[in-house]
Amino acid sequence: MAEKKKFTLEYEVRSSPRILYSFISEPNGLSQWFADDVVFRDQIYTFTWDDEQQKAKMVTVKENKLVKFKWLDDDPQYYFEMEIVQDELTNDVALAITDFTTEELMAEKKLIWDNQIDYLISVLGA
């Protein structure tokens, strides 16, 4: 299996951290932009895209600030994280995404995040 590299993307989001947090942490919020369906049971999130399911565990959570997930079927050192970053001076809010992928899939993976965040922004009405 090819080694994965860590990458970080940051997107400006016109939303309060509190509202944005519900969209990155709650199954109902996540299912509106991140996956077609999200079910949370026994500490495990099941994400569905088309007919494909992937299970993840939320390993870190800081209210209104950050969530970190690990895919159950991936190596333990890999994760994806969504962090709400607020500029202290301007109060601008951004969503920073940290994820891992192989060199070959990097461009594709970034494009997927771009599309998903665009969708999130439209759902937020931002």
**Amino acid found at 3:** E
- Yes or no: say if 7 and 106 are a contact pair by the CB < 8 Å rule: yes
pLDDT single digits (tens) 74-90: 998 999 999 999 999 99
Angle (CA) 75 81 82, round 5°: 160
30, 12, 9, 11: which is closest to 21 by C-alpha? Answer: 30
Give me the pLDDT at residue 47, please: 97
| Cα 58 from Cα 76, distance rounded (Å) | 13
Determine the average pLDDT of the residues in 101-114.
Answer: 97
Phi-psi category of 32—alpha, beta or left, where left has phi over 0 and alpha has psi -120 to 50?
alpha
Averaged over 10-36, what is the pLDDT? Answer: 96
- What CA–CA distance (Å, rounded) separates 97 from 15? 16
**Complete DSSP assignment for 37-98:** EEEEETTEEEEEETTEEEEEEEEEEETTTEEEEEETTS-TT--EEEEEEE-TTT--EEEEEE
What CATH number labels 5-124?
3.30.530.20
How far is residue 11's CA from residue 6's CA, in Å, rounded to a whole number? 17
For the residues 18-26, what does the mean pLDDT come to?
Answer: 97
What's the whole-number mean pLDDT along residues 89-107? 96
Q: What percent of the chain has pLDDT over 90?
A: 93
